[in-house]
Amino acid sequence: MLRQAHGVATTARRSTSLVRRFKHGDAREQLRQLLLSRASARGFSPEPVPDDVLANVVKMTQRAPSAFNTQPYACILVRDQADRDRLAGAMLASNGQKVKDAPVVAVFAADLEPSRRVPRLQKMMYDNGASPAEVNNLPLYLRMFAGEGHIADGIRSVISTVISPLRAVPGAVPTIAWSFKQTTFAAATFLHAAESQGLVTRPMEGYDETRVRAALDIPDRYGIPVIIGCGYPKADAETSSRGPSPRLEAIEVFFDGKFGQSSANIFVNSKEAQKTE
């Protein structure tokens, strides 16, 4: 009980600290500019990324959310030139050269057998003040949402078909889709964490997954949703003069209230608010 109370108090203090920090206009504006200016790197400097900088990126990446805090992924940071050259052989087209050039290559691997993590996760939960019910229910939640194995997948499919008309139940999403989803939260956080440290990134999905696993000794239970090249930007006119790539209009992607319902008013009101600042 005392440990749980201590955990709640610590979390409350931490949350209050974060609110104070991000009420500061400069911090919010810096974050906004970082997100708006993000672009995939078109070249990397050969300058190595210092360990302390990379450690900061990793620590920030770990703050990415995941279902039930399961963190069902691993990330291999490939830095040695010989290792990157070997990995390049698993990449498609120009991605091979990008892997050779990037001082750090982050290979995100999604665990397709997340139930094997349960004992370690339960210990982490217990050590950090989770209730016995939360700790004991974790395997059930994982089976319900991750659907690992053909039997669990079949049961979820039946439940979804029969019970969904009566009440809300988890959909029958394959384990690979669930695990890839959790892992890409971390991968996206890695992109922005790296940018915050003055680095640039290049996400890649063109590779032979079997060859990637072989090159890095990744067990078969892991899938590879994304590989990210990372380093300092290459200083030349061609790479520095090109800004972020275009995006669709926001109203084509974001809807207000229901699918297909225009969100134009959000952006009209936003412009009016900016005029009064």
Q: Where are the domains of the chain?
A: 1-32, 38-234, 247-277
**Three-class HEC string of the chain:** CHHHHHHHHHHHHHHHHHHHHHHCHHHHHHHHHHHHHCCECCCECCCCCCHHHHHHHHHHHCCCCCHHHCCCEEEEEECCHHHHHHHHCCECCCHHHHHHHCCEEEEEEEECCHHHHHHHHHHHHHHCCCCHHHHHHHHHHHHHHHCCCHHHHHHHHHHHHHHCCCCCCCCCCCHHHHHHHHHHHHHHHHHHHHHHCCCEEEEECCECHHHHHHHHCCCCCEEEEEEEEEECECCCHHHHCCCCCCCCCHHHHCCCCCCCCCCHHHHHHHHHHHHHC
- So what's the pLDDT on residue 171? 65
Share of the chain above pLDDT 90, in %: 70
pLDDT, one tens digit for every residue, the chain (277 residues): 444 444 444 434 344 444 444 456 688 999 999 999 999 999 999 999 999 999 999 999 999 999 999 999 999 999 999 999 999 999 999 999 999 999 999 999 999 999 999 999 999 999 999 999 999 999 988 988 887 765 556 655 655 666 667 666 566 678 999 999 999 999 999 999 999 999 999 999 999 999 999 999 999 999 999 999 999 999 874 555 467 899 999 999 999 999 999 999 999 877 644 544 4
- So what's the pLDDT on residue 17? 43
Give the model confidence (pLDDT) of 82-116 as tens digits. 999 999 999 999 999 999 999 999 999 999 999 99
pTM for the structure as a whole: 0.82
Q: Does domain 38-234 have CATH number 3.40.109.10?
A: yes
